[in-house]
């Protein structure tokens, strides 16, 4: 499974009601560090398919959703488990850093 696009319309169903942990990547097309980590996010979505859901929220298209979650800098990765924020990291991380973020929750 690859990443899914999360928006205000599907956030509750895809993230808050998910029965598996959800890693959300808050990003924007103009963000250089976001582009740098995008391949890592995609790889992890495929490697951990069925164990974790990986979603992407474009802050340009979903500004209200980003504001609701206090996103002030991108990339920001937020891990949700059981409908609540379990962990959050701001800034570009290497693949093993992102993987370490999710491993404790699967």
Question: How much is the pLDDT for 2?
Answer: 83
Query: pLDDT per residue over 50-73, tens digit each?
Result: 999 999 999 999 999 999 999 999
pTM for the full model? 0.94
Which domains, from first to last, does the chain contain? 4-90 (3.40.30.10)
Per DSSP, which regions of 1-102 are E strands?
4-5, 22-27, 53-58, 76-81, 84-90
The overall average pLDDT reported for the chain is: 94
Residues designated as active site = 31, 34
Spatial CA neighbour of 89 closest among 72, 104, 101, 106: 101
Q: Cα separation of 14 and 71, whole Å?
A: 19
């Amino acid at each position: 499974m690859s990443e899914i696009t999360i928006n205000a319309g599907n956030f509750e169903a895809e993230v808050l009601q998910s029965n598996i942990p959800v890693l959300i990547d808050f990003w924007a097309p103009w963000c250089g560090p976001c582009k740098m980590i995008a391949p890592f996010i995609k790889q992890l979505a495929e490697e951990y398919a069925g164990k974790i859901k990986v979603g992407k929220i474009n802050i340009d298209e979903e500004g209200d959703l980003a504001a609701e979650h206090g996103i002030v800098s991108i990339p920001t990765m937020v891990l949700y488990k059981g409908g609540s924020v379990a962990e959050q990291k701001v800034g570009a991380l290497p693949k093993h850093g992102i993987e370490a973020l999710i491993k404790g929750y699967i």
